[in-house]
Structure 1
Amino acid sequence: MSKILKFTQFSVRDLIVTAAPTILLIVGACLLAYWLVDPAPPRTVRLATGQENSAYEEFGKKYATALAKHGIKVELIPSAGSGDNLRLLKDGKADIAFVQSGSTNEEAAEREGLSSLGSLFVEPLWLFLRETKGQPPITQLTQLRGKKINYGPRGAGAPRLFRQVLELNGVEKGEVERFSLANTPATVELLEGRIDGLVFTSAPEAPLIQMLLQTPGIKLFNFSQAEAYARKLPFLTHVVLPQGIVDLGRNIPAENYNLIAPTATLVARDNLHPALMDLFVQSASAIHSGAGWFQQQGQFPSAKYTEIPVDEDAAKFYKNGPPFLQRYMTFWLANFFDRMWVVVVALGALILPLSKVVPPLYVWRIRSRVYRWYGQLRAVEQRVEEAPEATRMQVYEEQLTRLNQIEELVNQVSIPLSFADGLYGLRSHIQFVRKRIQFLTAEAAPSEAVPV
């Protein structure tokens, strides 16, 4: 019964052996496509933030917390500010950064391989001045001539912007004594009276902003011509700091303040993995979508207010929301299925042509079990044909014995029933060769018996 069971309609073992190289090739090609064509997003990303106690630093910490929930480590890189962040992006020392509008232009961004993930919030230009007894309050920027003003460190966004604003007022470069301290030490210098004012751009959430707005003897400059500045410099907007917004009980500030404000944008290198871009945009939506001092609910993040071209995927998010799969799955699972199309393409490219190769190989493997014995059968015939006359009988006997051995081994061959005709054909051919040798043996026997 066990021998009968060996004869089946189909040989799974032979199919597996035949198809194994093809399957391994397909699997290898799919894995190669999966990892090379669209690799998995890295587990670490570098985010350039800003100075100590700045809004950039505070928001950077929030992004790190948000992405940590998805298993992504955000390495925060402190910097002088917007200009320094652009340099870090260009040098490849940061993958993504906060950049102030007006810091670059569309042509330069495209040349450096940078794209925007959207604008996040407005960051007004804050000019805090020390009040001096006996002197009239400063209401025009032309009154800053001869004053000691801290523009901010080189690499920040405020110095470049403040220079543009002073130029619009006709104030020349050397007419204001410039300092380039970081925001925290500059605040100390202002409070100690060693400088007359300081400038920086920041969201109102920055601790230094909150402190200076409530410090006696420190007054915020009111840009009464804010609308004109916004018309002259298109990347600026006119915003109003409402009366009492800091502290309603103490009525701080005591009046409305007009301010000019660029917007903070999230800028990434073009080679940042698309999945990480999606994750940053989604995090931005959660962090910056609320109402604030200068923005309405849902106004930010936005694809507007940025001169750097917005990434296509980010623009789709602002228009349609998060990708379909990421609405219902974890980040890594959704990313896995998003990348599966690469495997599908690889499978389609390989399975169709290789599927035409496997069946002939399977048939060849089965039939080769029979055909290889024909070589042994042919060898027997040649030995018989080439047998010397003096030893013919001995050769015939040896080859008959060899035929018996071949037949015994052939009887042990197991092949599917659909190929049994070849096996039975081989057996009949063995019998044919045996009869021929027996005939030659009978024919040679009388001649061997004749006396010499």
Structure 2
Amino acid sequence: MPTQDSSCDGTAPPALRHAAPSRRRMLGAGLGAVAAALPGCSGDSGPVRRLRLATGPEGGPYNAFGKALALAVAAGSDRLEIVPVGTAASVDNLRQLEEGSVDLALAMADASEDAVLGRAPFPRPVAVTALARVYVNYTHLLVPEAGPVRSVEALAGRPVAAGAAGSGVQVVAGRLLRSAGLSDGPAAVRERSLGLAESVRALRGGTVDALFWSGGVPTPALSELARALPLRFLPLDGYVAALRERHGPVYTTVTLPAGAYGLTEPVGTVGVGNYLLARADVARSGVSDLLQVVFDRWSDLLREVTAGARLEPRFAISTGAVPLHPGAVAYYRSVYG
């Protein structure tokens, strides 16, 4: 159930349980519409004492971001407490939001849009809202440099670590393998549902021939692996057009830069945004307090997640099919006009 004081009356209004207000309508109508969007919730609804944030597995970037956010909120706000909750990541987080066991969550853009639109693996639309697009994940597909795999096609029939069950990694890996014709039939790879730490151990031990990961650059666990085992990063940018055609513009072309993981030249790959999400019934005052901390401390929050990233309002409000929370709309309009 939602934690105490995380909403105005403990339940979302009927309209929000099925569909949150669109970003265009909210921004166009101004703050008056924002106030009206959550009946019974005034801007002075009182302090939000505690919000549970679904993050990810220990050692992963979501977990690191969640812990950093909890510390930043503790230092910067006396009205709000963030409690990070370890999870399997994106898909699991969205399900926990729907169930009400958490108030906030981090999730990849593709999984978030699937949830809002009621696409598999979600049997029906999930009423979640976005607070911000916080950074971009880079899809990594790596193999031992001395091994036989030199291309995505060469993975046919091989064991591949394809992300933990319930993770966003598993979503993007599955879609890439389908685009490459490697998800069924005689060419199908043998997908292993492994988290990052397990995937690294499996690649080092030779029980898988490749490892999928989606995260910031550099991801510390992969930097450590690259120091122990020379790696080859397979380019994936050639699949972006097919992914966008089938799943929409949540996928973009990005580049793993030279120097990261010891790379001598850039490697093109698939980028996916990460959203900070909230249940629709989280109080607007709590959202405003939280976003104030996020924008005041973004460099600290992203330091351990993705090098060189910046958080800017025009980037933060780009959350695609996932509607902005009314409190986020009010925050962005009050601060940035």
Q: Give the TM-score normalised by structure 1.
A: 0.57
In structure 1, the partner of 2:259 is 244
How many residues matched?
281
Higher helix fraction (1 or 2): 1
Q: 1:312 aligns with which of 321, 326, 330?
A: 326
Q: One-letter code of the match for 2:162?
A: Y
In structure 2, the partner of 1:267 is 277
How far 1:217 moved relative to its partner? Answer: 2.6
Could you list the runs of 5+ residues in structure 2 that have no partner in the other structure? 1-39
In structure 1, the partner of 2:201 is 188
In structure 1, the partner of 2:15 is none
How far 1:120 moved relative to its partner? Answer: 0.5
Deviations 1:358-403 (A, max 9, x none): xxxxxxxxxxxxxxxxxxxxxxxxxxxxxxxxxxxxxxxxxxxxxx
| % identical equivalent positions | 23
Q: Give the TM-score normalised by structure 2.
A: 0.74
In structure 1, distance between residues paired with 2:102 and 2:258: 39
In structure 2, distance between residues paired with 1:207 and 1:40: 40
2:126 is the counterpart of 1:112: yes
How far 1:68 moved relative to its partner? Answer: 0.9
Deviations 1:286-323 (A, max 9, x none): 34468965745737751114321112331343344279
Bigger relative contact order, structure 1 or 2, given CA contacts below 8 A and separation 6+?
Answer: 2
Which has the larger Rg? 1
Q: Counterparts of 1:76-87 in structure 2 under 5 Å? A: 76-87=84-95
In structure 2, the partner of 1:121 is 135
In structure 2, distance between residues paired with 1:278 and 1:225: 40
Structure 2 CA distance for partners of 1:281 and 1:213, relative to 1, 3 Å: farther
In structure 2, the partner of 1:131 is 145
How far 1:84 moved relative to its partner? Answer: 0.5
Q: Counterparts of 1:273-422 in structure 2 under 5 Å? A: 273-288=283-298, 293=307, 295=309, 298=312, 302-321=316-335
Kindly report the root-mean-square deviation, in angstroms, between the aligned alpha carbons of the 2 structures. 2.8
- Is the contact between residue 101 and residue 307 of structure 1 (CA under 8 Å) also seen in structure 2? no
Q: 2:155 aligns with which of 128, 131, 144?
A: 144
Q: 2:164 aligns with which of 133, 146, 153?
A: 153
How far 1:193 moved relative to its partner? Answer: 1.4
Aligned with 2:282: secondary structure?
coil
Structure 2 CA distance for partners of 1:51 and 1:205, relative to 1, 3 Å: farther
- Is the contact between residue 141 and residue 211 of structure 2 (CA under 8 Å) also seen in structure 1? yes
- Is the contact between residue 102 and residue 262 of structure 1 (CA under 8 Å) also seen in structure 2? yes
How far 1:79 moved relative to its partner? Answer: 0.6
In structure 1, distance between residues paired with 2:242 and 2:221: 25
Could you list the runs of 5+ residues in structure 1 that have no partner in the other structure? 1-34, 247-251, 324-452
In structure 2, distance between residues paired with 1:52 and 1:144: 29
How far 1:196 moved relative to its partner? Answer: 0.9
How far 1:98 moved relative to its partner? Answer: 0.1
Aligned with 1:103: secondary structure?
helix
In structure 2, distance between residues paired with 1:160 and 1:107: 15
Deviations 1:146-191 (A, max 9, x none): 1111111111011121111111122233611111122112211111
In structure 1, distance between residues paired with 2:242 and 2:333: 31
Structure 2 CA distance for partners of 1:152 and 1:199, relative to 1, 3 Å: same
Q: 2:263 aligns with which of 253, 256, 264?
A: 253
In structure 2, distance between residues paired with 1:211 and 1:316: 42
In structure 2, distance between residues paired with 1:287 and 1:209: 26
